[in-house]
Amino acid sequence: MFKKTLLTLAVSVLLSIIAVIVVMLIAEKKVQQPLNLVQSEFITVKSGTSFNAFSKQLVNKQWLDNDFWLRIYAKFNPTQSKIKSGTYQVTTETNILSLLNLVVSGKEHQFSITFIEGSTFKQVLTLLAQHPNISHQLVGLSPSAIAKKLAIVQDNPEGWLFPETYAFTQGASDISIIKRAHKKMQSALAEHWENRADNLPYKSAYQALIMASIIEKESGKYAEHPRISSVFVNRLNKHMRLQTDPTVIYGLGERYQGDITYAHLREKTAYNTYKIKGLPPTPIALPGAQALEAALHPELSDYLYFVSNGAGEHIFSTNLADHNRAVNKYQR
């Protein structure tokens, strides 16, 4: 009788083990099935979300028909239930297990925003304000107030952001992103200033930043930047006015409607380099690395003038007569 009872118990234990193994194998197979997705989507796991709440979230999004096998899998694999908050991108190729691995790893999706060379601080703020994945904390703040937040000495923060693509996670603040851009520009400017050429007409690194911004706006052709820089450096050394249209345009602000008039050129503003001597008071845009390099390492030349040839390049001249002929040929 005892042996029969022992045998029955052994069989029961064995059947139980087999049942557990079968359930485990089924759960393993179920979590390798694809999610019900027809296109890539995002899922945000809020802080403090339990695993059961997460699995129900998948059902509510209709990515899973039910969460039974997912919860069973988590019971057998407790480390796979330690999900982390964040926003994750899920593609159509993602199965349940790979999604689980992603959320457990905490590797959030990296969104991005690009500040383009030659764009203005105002355009950067607009770009930030329009991004749906950024927390907007700068809305309503004046440029001078933002400059204080960035610990910028000048009231106008123009030119102090490095143009580049910046990655961030869901909900990153706009101020955190421009702080990164400002820090990178500080570093880039300091490095270029430290390694600058001799006998440049700048009293400070900030003046070099101003010059770099003008070079950036004058030409999108990087190969021309050192030569354009040489023209402006030569003019400064000869105490000639810079006479560059981009500074005039910047000074006009909202009044600029696509054309510079003779009235604009005659109007004496702080940025009208046809009227003022030397550099304008601030940069006029975000200069890139090539413009910074050109401002601090200009080409050695005797050029004093240049004009666009209408095909994306410029014609350079050493004297006014040649320049006027080039203007007549390409502009008039």
**pLDDT per residue over 311-321, tens digit each?**
888 999 999 99
Residues 268 and 215 in one domain: yes
Residue 95, domain extent:
21-105
Work out the angle between the directed axes of helices 205-218 and 225-237 (0-180°, nearest 10): 130
**What is residue 310's three-state secondary structure?**
coil
- Indicate if the pLDDT at residue 9 is higher than 70: no
Start-to-end CA distance of the chain, whole Å, equals 116
Strands 41-45 and 86-90: antiparallel
- Indicate if the pLDDT at residue 19 is higher than 90: no
Average pLDDT, the chain: 90
Instruction: Please indicate, yes or no, if residue 2 is contained in any of the structural domains.
Output: no
Residue type for position 172: A
Is 105 in contact with 145 (CB distance < 8 Å)? no
Look at residues 231, 228, 276 and name the one whose alpha carbon lies nearest to residue 251. Answer: 276
The two structure tokens encoding residue 99? 């999604």
Instruction: Please indicate, yes or no, if residue 217 is contained in any of the structural domains.
Output: yes
Instruction: Please indicate, yes or no, if residue 192 is contained in any of the structural domains.
Output: no
C-alpha distances in Å from residue 22, one per residue of 25, 26, 81: 5, 6, 21
- Indicate if the pLDDT at residue 108 is higher than 90: yes
Residues 174 and 204 in one domain: no
Region 209-236: what's the mean pLDDT?
95
Instruction: Please indicate, yes or no, if residue 3 is contained in any of the structural domains.
Output: no
Under the banding of pLDDT at 50, 70 and 90, the label for residue 245 is very high
Region 78-84: what's the mean pLDDT?
90
- Indicate if the pLDDT at residue 206 is higher than 70: yes
Q: How many domains does the chain have?
A: 3
Under the banding of pLDDT at 50, 70 and 90, the label for residue 145 is very high
pLDDT digits over 167-194, tens only?
Answer: 999 999 999 999 999 999 999 999 999 9
Region 47-51: what's the mean pLDDT?
92
Measured on CA atoms in the order 274, 275, 279, 283, is the torsion positive or negative? negative
The pLDDT of residue 46:
93
Higher pLDDT, 159 or 310: 159
Residues 100 and 117 in one domain: no
Instruction: Please indicate, yes or no, if residue 13 is contained in any of the structural domains.
Output: no
Residues 101 and 145 in one domain: no
The pLDDT of residue 26:
76
Which of 43, 74, 105 terminates a domain? The answer is 105
Of all residues in the chain, the percent with pLDDT exceeding 70 is 93
The pLDDT of residue 196:
96
Contacts of 19 (CB under 8 A, 6+ apart): none
Residues 216 and 308 in one domain: yes
Which of 166, 187, 208 terminates a domain? The answer is 187
